[in-house]
Chains A and B, each alone.
Chain A
Amino acid sequence: MKRSRPARIALNAAAAAFCAVWIFPVYWMVNSAFKPAGDMLTATPRFLPFPLTLGNFAGAVGKPHFPAYLANSLIVTGVVVAVAIAVAFLAAVALTRFTFPGRRGFLIGVLAVQMIPGPALLIPLFLSLKSLDLLDTLLGLIVTYTAFVLPLTIWVMRGFLHGVPKELEEAAMVDGAGQLTVMRTILLPLVTPGIIAASVFSFIVAWNDYLYAYVMMKDQSRYTLPVWLASFSTNLGTDYGGLIAGSTLFALPVVAFFMIIQRRLVAGMTAGAVKG
């Protein structure tokens, strides 16, 4: 659809204004991360971090246990995203391509899980993991986060599967393709945008959680990266420079993950469409 020049300018201006407002806090975070401690608070704001220091970053990365926590975080988050997406996709296929007793109940039940206030579940969940003997294990954490993100991922995938015209599958079926083949080559590529949104969501939930990681793990060696972020605040005060630099580093993998998955999945989607 072609648009007139003034309309294009107006759209771009609106987009630019939105970007400026939304990025500002992030910009301020990065800006502060490069400032020496004395420049962190100034009555007249400093919009550029000069004189610049890398000390905040060096201090943050140099904290004890940083590599171990990073490794744990990567394992937990990676497994959660992969498992959640696979499990949710299967469930969403069942929910959109079949009618069976208990379907509505399942859908509503899953949504109800989202409605429980987060802090309220902590103690009951702790008791459950204790009974299951899953405390102090990365597996326990993985299962917990997977359960947290499943309701949303199932629902989002379901929403996107609805958008897939049935004729596509039926045509493939007529061509003699099996159900698994249909799922893999037709449905999966077509819900790609939904997978991107759902996996970024899952990634962020698993990557950011502090409280469950802190409470469910007992041995220090099994903590995840948010515990590292918490370590900048002690009773003596908060190391704001370290915390803000740490937060900047902490956010990077999320952005990187998004860019990678975007590229990979978009490539996969085109390939799938050709095959289908």
Chain B
Amino acid sequence: MTVLTKARPARPRAAAPTGAAARRRRRATPYLLLAPGALVLLLVVGYPLVRLVLISFQDYGLRTLFTGTAEWTGLDNYAKVLGSDEIVPMLLRTAALCVAMAGGTLAIGTAVALLMRALGPRMRTAVTLVLITAWAVPNVAATMLWTWLFQPTYGVVNWMLTRLRVFGDFGQYDWTAHTWSSLVLVWLLVVWQSVPFVALTLYAGLTQIPADYYEAAALDGAGAWRRFRVVTVPFLRSILLLVTVLSVVWDFNVFNQIWLLTHGGPDGATSTLVVWSFTRAFASQSYGQGAAIAVLATGLLMALTWYYVRRLVRTGEEL
């Protein structure tokens, strides 16, 4: 403890070496702090990750799982996946759906977070509770609720749309039977489930901004939009970037909602890469091909988000 108490903040520019031992310890500190997390991640995710990549080069089926011996097939799985007729429309569909869902989530989430900051305490508590309650609904119940709300004959949403007398009779409308309506169905569910995390996290970030920054800006005669640009965005950049990247990543990999609502139908209209990976691995017991699709999907996602990931890693470093 004595050495630690003497140690000054361990940033290079502030560091003033007081001895070899202290320096060594200072160098070790970040690794010690990181060790528990790194250990768990390496053990539980790192090792399986290596296995996932290995499996993607093997003919890995149910028999392999039972006997433990797999045959190496080189790039066969990848060739099969990339050579499939489905791959191009599948990629486009996955990307478009991901952008639509992440965009919707972020737009609504940011708006709600800003709204919360502007509201009085009572209304803010109400919004917080609504968000947390929606977030708390388990996946299985959420998807079931969606089929209920939107089912023909008995769906409340269909009933209300009919009563609006704008769109015609929706009473017998089956959302899952048509391409666009099934996409809308999935989009609504995913956005409904994802907004709470985005809104609450962004709002938490907003509360960190000291009020005097706004007051100073207001004194300078800055309008609401300018205050948002000059104070809110820079302060929030790191968290905003983070929720953006996370939303894109999650929405790219949305699985349960699609599978339980539409099974990727009608006629493949809502089938994405992950759905494909799942059906290959778990319906066809071709874990090798499922793994290959997963590896490709991860690589693709990494490439697509690379720019933001880099910016995200850099945020705060200039401090």
A interface residues, Cβ below 8 angstroms from B: 1, 3, 8, 11-12, 14-16, 18-19, 22-23, 25-26, 28-29, 32, 41-45, 87-88, 90-91, 93-100, 103-104, 106-108, 110-121, 123-125, 127-128, 132, 143-144, 146-148, 150-152, 154-156, 158-160, 162-164, 166, 169-170, 173, 176-180, 190, 193-194, 196-197, 200-201, 204, 208, 210, 226, 229-230, 240, 243-244, 247, 250-252, 254-255, 258
Given A1-B214, A111-B309, A123-B65, A146 and B40 touching (CB < 8 A)? Answer: yes
Residues of B within 8 A of A252 (CB): 136
| Residue among B9, B36, B255, B298 making CB contact with A115, cutoff 8 Å | B298
B interface residues, Cβ below 8 angstroms from A: 1, 4-5, 7-12, 14, 27, 29-31, 33-34, 36-38, 40-41, 43-45, 47-49, 51-52, 55, 65, 112, 115-116, 118-120, 123, 126-127, 129-142, 144-146, 148-149, 153-154, 156, 159, 171, 192, 195, 197, 200-201, 204-205, 207-209, 214-215, 218, 235, 238-239, 242, 245-246, 249-250, 252-253, 255, 273-274, 277-278, 281-282, 287, 290-291, 293-294, 297-298, 301-302, 305, 309, 312-313, 315-316, 319
Q: How far is the CA of A208 from the CA of B137 in the complex (A)?
A: 9
Residues of B within 8 A of A197 (CB): 197, 200-201, 204
State whether A255 touches B136 (Cβ < 8 A): yes
Q: How far is the CA of A42 from the CA of B153 in the complex (A)?
A: 8
Report A76 CB to chain B, min CB distance, Å.
14
Report B271 CB to chain A, min CB distance, Å.
14
14 more A-B residue pairs beyond the given contacts A1-B215, A90-B37, A159-B239, with a C-beta to C-beta distance below 8 A: A23-B133, A25-B137, A25-B146, A90-B33, A100-B27, A115-B253, A115-B305, A120-B291, A160-B204, A163-B235, A166-B319, A178-B5, A230-B140, A247-B138
Most B CB contacts (10 A, CB to CB) among A15, A28, A99 go to A15
| Residue among A22, A119, A143, A166 making CB contact with B274, cutoff 8 Å | A119
State whether B51 touches A15 (Cβ < 8 A): no
State whether B192 touches A124 (Cβ < 8 A): no
Report A54 CB to chain B, min CB distance, Å.
19
Residues of A within 8 A of B137 (CB): 25-26, 29, 247, 251
State whether B253 touches A162 (Cβ < 8 A): no
Residues of A within 8 A of B274 (CB): 117-120
| Residue among B1, B51, B215 making CB contact with A128, cutoff 8 Å | B51
Chain B contact surface mostly: helix
Q: How far is the CA of A161 from the CA of B278 in the complex (A)?
A: 38
Residues of A within 8 A of B277 (CB): 117, 119-120
Residues of B within 8 A of A44 (CB): 159
Q: How far is the CA of A208 from the CA of B193 in the complex (A)?
A: 13
| Residue among B37, B65, B115 making CB contact with A15, cutoff 8 Å | B115
Residue in B closest to A183 when the chains form the complex, CB atoms: B33
Report A242 CB to chain B, min CB distance, Å.
12
| Residue among A23, A104, A112, A114 making CB contact with B246, cutoff 8 Å | A114
Residues of A within 8 A of B130 (CB): 18-19, 22-23
Q: How far is the CA of A229 from the CA of B192 in the complex (A)?
A: 21
Residues of B within 8 A of A95 (CB): 30, 34
State whether B135 touches A91 (Cβ < 8 A): no
